């Protein structure tokens, strides 16, 4: 009986340690709050964020990330500009390094959101994104709070890339580009 209790205690301790390691260094789940990423994500969707891969590769335009902002809680947004990029928006068309960005994920085209921006208008010193700075936008531009509101995001603020939507079950998905 004592041996069995000891084995269970060891198993529980190992499980707790593994959970702590996984949540601290590898993956963490978040709940999407609001409609700023609609239709890619809806309010209350649950996602898994990969914290580990950021140590092996750079974030790219189109990656969906979770980051902490000084303006509030964690946000889920899409990276539009990476360090060294020039990003502008003219008449609801985003241009990265002078080329129009194809954004099939943007379906809300009402005239109610801010457009026609340049990096200096967003608080960037110069025409290109500085090292370790990213420009992020929500897919639902009319309602999204993003770099147009709080400026660029420092790489140190990024938790990781969204890899999986696991809730609701009928919308499980792994590719968000």
What letter does residue 122 receive in the DSSP assignment? G
The stretch 56-67 carries a mean pLDDT of 87
pLDDT at res. 135: 93
Percent of the chain whose pLDDT exceeds 70: 88
- Average pLDDT of the chain is 83
Rounded to 5 degrees, what are φ and ψ at 77? -145, 170
Pick among 2.10.109.10, 2.20.25.90, 3.40.47.10, 1.10.390.10: CATH of 30-174:
2.10.109.10
Instruction: Please state the domain extents for the chain.
Output: 30-174
pLDDT at res. 29: 78
pLDDT at res. 136: 93
pLDDT band at 31 (very low <50, low <70, confident <90, very high): confident
The catalytic residues are 36, 77
């Amino acid at each position: 009986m004592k041996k069995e209790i000891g084995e269970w205690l060891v198993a529980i301790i190992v499980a707790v340690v593994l959970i702590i390691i996984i949540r601290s260094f590898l993956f963490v789940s978040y709940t999407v709050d609001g409609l700023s990423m609609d239709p890619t994500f809806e309010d209350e969707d649950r996602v898994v964020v990969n914290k580990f891969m950021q140590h092996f590769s750079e974030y790219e335009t189109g990656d969906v990330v979770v980051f902490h902002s000084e303006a509030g809680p964690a946000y889920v947004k899409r990276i539009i500009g990476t360090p060294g990029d020039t990003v502008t928006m003219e008449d609801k068309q985003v241009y990265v390094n002078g080329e129009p960005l194809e954004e099939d994920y943007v379906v809300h085209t009402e005239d109610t959101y801010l457009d026609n921006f340049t990096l200096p208008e967003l608080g960037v010193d110069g025409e290109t994104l500085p090292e370790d700075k990213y420009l992020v936008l929500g897919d639902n531009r009319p309602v999204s709070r993003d770099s147009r509101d709080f400026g660029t995001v420092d790489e140190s603020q990024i938790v990781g890339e969204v890899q999986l939507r696991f809730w609701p079950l009928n919308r499980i998905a792994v590719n968000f580009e």
